[in-house]
Amino acid sequence: MAFLPLCKTDEVESGSSLRVEPDSLPPLAVFNLDGEFFVIHDTCTHGDASLCDGEIEDGEVECPWHNAKFCIKTGKALTFPAVEAQKTYLTRVVDGHVGIEV
């Protein structure tokens, strides 16, 4: 496993998200939940919507297209029409950068 930095911690304010497009991976969504960072696939498993365009509330993100909700920590699909979980990544902060283990 190797650490892949995605962005600086100060690029993602608490309660918000940032879409990043690393080489050799699909677009990813970096979330900041009260100072804790989580990274999941950005493209909704139900369609092609970017979850970074969705509303964040209580640790969940709501897809902007058909309003499915996902748990940001686990990627689990919580409401229809999505049934498939978002892929999650082991997320760490190293030297002021948010990144994942790949």
Single out the residue of 40, 47, 42 nearest to residue 66, CA to CA. Answer: 47
| Cβ closest to ligand FES, residue 4 vs residue 52 | 52
Q: Quick one: CA torsion of 54, 57, 58, 61, rounded to 10 degrees?
A: -10
Q: How far is the CB of 83 from ligand FES (least distance, A)?
A: 10
- The contact set with ligand FES (CB under 6 A) reads 44, 46-47, 49, 63, 65-66, 68, 81-82
Q: Which is nearer to ligand FES, 41 or 46 (CB)?
A: 46
Distance CA(96)–CA(49), nearest Å, equals 29
Shortest Å distance, C-beta 81 to ligand FES: 5
Answer whether 33's CB lies under 8 Å from 9's CB. no
- Cβ proximity to ligand FES, 63 vs 98, nearer residue: 63
